[in-house]
Amino acid sequence: MGAVNMDTVIVFDMDGVLAEVTESYREAIVQTVKFFTGTTIARDTIQDYKNQGGWNNDWALSRKICLDLDVELPYETVVEYFNQIFIGPNHGDGLISRESWFPKAGFLERLGQRYGLSLFTGRLQYEADITLKRFAPGIVFDPMLCAEHVEKAKPAPDGLLEIQRRKPGAKLWYVGDTVDDARSARAAGVPFIGIVAKDHSTRSEILRLFDEEKAIAVVENVNEIEELL
């Protein structure tokens, strides 16, 4: 086993990169909007908002979609309902329990033998912890930066700049799946690897956005970055 190359740190986004969230976060948006407006929105509608940029916060996005459907709500009201169905009454048995894990067995372990691993996600830490403890209890992300750890959320570069500060001299790579991830990386001067599935409903649009933001590579699944690196 070779020594870990701490001169290079692979920084992962979480949702859509490590965790499959179609039936968790995305479904929570659908159910929240339906609860408050009576309208069932399409998943592609959510993606259209995401592609606009600036909608990394799913609570804020849920509220915005409700507003666009002529239902104005206090932010805290949306957050309370969303969390109720997402986290569940027993802290993990809600929609979050529907998540699956993209990395194949051994992938993160092998990567961690060669590089430093870090995490920069728009989740709150307790939300991230639920999924990490379920799927990757032995993986160390150092540092792990969540929503409450940065002053400004993506697409602001705050999280990546903080990782740079904690890892002076290290070269960072950021792996993400949204235009906000790409813009955050570009603003921080960090090379960006985009992820978009071959069968994604708005693949061509996301590819265009990644190209605009100067992604150095685009892959279909996080497991493919091993060969890239």
Of the pLDDT bands very low, low, confident and very high (cuts 50, 70, 90), residue 108 is very high
Instruction: Give how far Cα 58 sits from Cα of 20, 63, 78, 204, Å.
Output: 15, 8, 10, 23
pTM reported for the whole predicted model: 0.94
The confidence band for 28, taking pLDDT boundaries of 50, 70 and 90, is very high
Q: For position 1, what pLDDT does the model report? A: 39
- Give how far Cα 7 sits from Cα of 53, 81, 95, 171, 207, Å: 31, 43, 38, 6, 29
Neighbours of 201 (CB within 10 A): 13
pLDDT band at 6 (very low <50, low <70, confident <90, very high): low
- How many Å separate Cα 225 from the centre of its chain? 16
- Where residue 92 falls among pLDDT bands split at 50, 70, 90? very high
Q: What is the pLDDT of residues 110-147, one digit of tens each?
A: 999 999 999 999 999 999 999 999 999 999 999 999 99
Question: What's the chain's length in residues?
Answer: 229
212: number of Cβ within 10 Å: 12
* C-alpha–C-alpha distance, residues 150 and 12, integer Å: 16
Closest CA to 130 of 107, 104, 155, 101: 101
